[in-house]
Amino acid sequence: MLYEFLIENREALVERARIKVASRRAPQVTAEELQHGVRLFLDQLIELMRVSTTSNAAMILTATRHGEELLRIGFTIAQVVHDYGDVSEVVTELAGLTDAPISVDESRTFDRCLDLAITGAVTEYARLCQRSFESKATGRLGILAHEVHNCLSLAMLSFETLKGGRVAIGGSTGGVLERSLRRMQGLITRTLASVRIDAGLVQRKRVSVCRFVEDIEVAGLMEASARGLKLVVTRIDPDVEFEVDEPLLTAAVSNVLHNALKFSITGGRVWLRTYVDAQRVRFEIEDECGGLPPDATESLSRPFDQQGIDRTGLGLGLTISQQGIAANGGEIRVRDVPGKGCIFTIDLPRYTIAPGVAAQDALQGDAARPAVTTRRVLVVDDDVDAAQALQDILVLEGHEVRAVHDGPAALRMAPEFQPEIVLLDLGVPKDSDLVARELRTVLGDHVLLVASTGLKEVGLDTTLLKRIDMLAPMDL
């Protein structure tokens, strides 16, 4: 059995692992790591193999405790990840050399122990970093930078571990990667919402409530699945509308739903219900978090105040949600359901039109809307993503579009496609001036050449201006 093999060959494994660790180029190897660390890493894997016969919860608890022990001793997270990997490789090598009778199931259990050991250390590292950082008096920007950097570091460490091939993407390390990316996405979304609120950049337009809920549901279902929860969403009349700043409200409602999923007990349910009457649209998000602590409703929206056991994040989410909902003319309330969970209610005004105005709008709508003339447009940009995005936007507007990524390709495409408009990136390979001159020769004077650039200020000489009809800075 593998557990007995580890016990019987403990000293041989330690010596082999020391040689492997000593040959590592990065991260830098320390004397403490070679003298005591290698033995400690092996012993921790042996301990995980021992408790693997009891329960998964015991393994997770043991892995977290080991991670905390290693980090408090002074090992860096990079040393922890690499040393566990080196010890694991040595076990596999020696087992192969000695023809040890190790079953496939035992090998899988060992890989799971390795996965949990690394996950426990990485998770504990994040928690200790968070606690250390929060003890200092810092501003919101500093906290945000720290949080994003922390998420990115965990994601990169998880990715490097997965890239090694010993740990499956569907395991605990893959879970750390997914959670890190989702946290980073949430941080950026909420911060952008906060900036827009502070700057007064609220722009409302008519939005279908049904479509709005569907967009919220898509992301919610993925997160619910990752957390082992079921998300239940009610349907409403697709003709109901409200007038809101959609990105801002999406960030606000998504954050409330994220918190409901974050704090609900695994295996439980979260409900997203929508109610409509003549004047109002009301969303209800109900979770199964077990209920709120006494007086918690007073501090839920307090900046930097985190609730519950899972203390990841800035504690700014509900504050920004409250501001975003208020900016859209609504309000948010919370009701505790002791022993079960809580219900967040988001109340917003419904978009309504006076009967006379509605009839007048219906008659004038088509006349007021300018006709769209379909054009043939050639996009020339060496940034493939920017070219694709611009092509997609123009196609949605009803235009026929082709995209190429350098000057020679543009000159090959032009005679066949005969574009009416060319959007030419100033930084395209093969000088833009030369490309513009040759396009004008090939296509004649009827084509409109537009110079596109992401730069705010561009110096153009007169020869280029003679050949390009328009300069249009484009922030792509």
Tell me: pLDDT of 179 over 80: no
**Residue 122 contacts residue 130 (beta carbons within 8 Å):** no
pLDDT at 77: 73
Half-sphere exposure of 302 (CA within 13 A, CB side): 9
The C-alpha angle with vertex 119 and arms to 73 and 231, in degrees rounded to 5, equals 140
At residue 410, φ and ψ (nearest 5 deg) are: -65, -40
d(CA 91, CA 6): 8
Instruction: Sort strands 269-276 and 280-286 into parallel, antiparallel or unpaired.
Output: antiparallel
When pLDDT is averaged across residues 163-183 and rounded to a whole number, the result is 73
The whole-angstrom distance between residue 433's C-alpha and the CA centroid of its chain comes to 40
Higher-confidence position of 384 and 299: 384
Query: How many angstroms separate the CA atoms of 302 and 43, rounded?
Result: 44
Q: Is 214 left (phi over 0), alpha (psi -120 to 50) or beta?
A: alpha
pLDDT at 151: 67
Give DSSP secondary structure letters for 290-313. Answer: --PPTTGGGTTTSTT---SS---S
From the CA atom positions of the chain, what is the Rg in Å? Answer: 29
Q: Nearest CA to 17 among 54, 59, 47, 45?
A: 45
Residue 159, pLDDT above cutoff 70: yes
Q: Which CATH architecture has domain 205-349?
A: 2-Layer Sandwich (3.30)
* H/E run at residue 344: strand 341-349
Q: What's the pLDDT at 472?
A: 39
Summarised one tens digit per residue, pLDDT across range 451-460 is: 876 543 344 3
Average pLDDT over residues 152-176: 73
Which structure tokens are listed for 375? 């054009």
Residue 374 CB partners (closer than 8 Å, separation 6+): 398, 399, 400
The terminus-to-terminus CA distance of the chain in angstroms comes to 59
Q: Rounded to an integer, what distance in angstroms lies between the CA atom of residue 286 and that of residue 291?
A: 11
Mean pLDDT for the stretch of residues 204-232: 86
Q: Which residues pair with 206 in a beta bridge?
A: 243
The verdict on pTM exceeding 0.85 is: no
Alpha-carbon span 289 to 224, nearest angstrom: 14
How far from chain centre, in Å, is Cα 322? 22
Phi, psi of 235 (to 5 degrees): -105, 155
79-85-86 Cα angle (round to 5): 85
What pLDDT is recorded for position 369? 43
Angle, in degrees to the nearest 10, between helices 172-198 and 317-327: 40
Long-range contacts of 384-390 (CB under 8 A, 24+ apart): 386/425, 386/454, 386/476, 389/476, 390/423, 390/452, 390/474, 390/476
Residue 281 β-bridge partners: 276, 348
Give residue 470's pLDDT: 43
Percent of the chain with pLDDT over 70: 73
Q: How big is the CA angle at 378 (ends 372 and 383), to the nearest 5 degrees?
A: 120
CATH number of 376-473: 3.40.50.2300
pLDDT of 407: 85
Are the beta carbons of 299 and 172 closer than 8 angstroms? no
Q: How many CB atoms lie within 10 A of CB 80?
A: 25
Measured in whole angstroms, the distance separating CA 410 from the mean position of its chain's CA atoms is 36
Place of tokens 């994220």: 258
Nearest-CA neighbor of 350 among 252, 274, 286? 274
Higher local confidence (pLDDT), 315 or 201: 201
Residue 185 token pair: 């996405």
pLDDT tens column, 344-379? 999 999 987 655 544 455 445 444 444 456 788 999
Beta sheet of 400-404, edge-to-edge order: 400-404, 376-380, 421-425, 448-453, 470-473
Q: Domain limits of the chain?
A: 2-194, 205-349, 376-473
Q: What's the confidence (pLDDT) of residue 432? A: 65
Which of 380, 325, 315 is closest to 347 using CA atoms? 325
Counting residues of the chain whose pLDDT is more than 90, the rounded percentage is 13
Q: At what angle do helices 209-226 and 246-263 cross, to 10 degrees?
A: 30
Q: What are the distances in angstroms from CA 272 to CA 216, 226, 345?
A: 10, 18, 10
Report the relative pairing of strands 376-380 and 421-425 from DSSP bridges: parallel
User: Which is higher by pLDDT, 448 or 176?
Assistant: 448
Mean pLDDT of 238-260: 87
Query: Which of these, 293, 291, 318, lies nearest to 304 by C-alpha position?
Result: 318
**Higher-confidence residue: 471 or 114?**
114
236 compared with 454, residue with greater pLDDT:
236
User: Which residue in this structure is represented by tokens 């408090």?
Assistant: 72
The pLDDT score that the predictor gives to residue 346 is 94
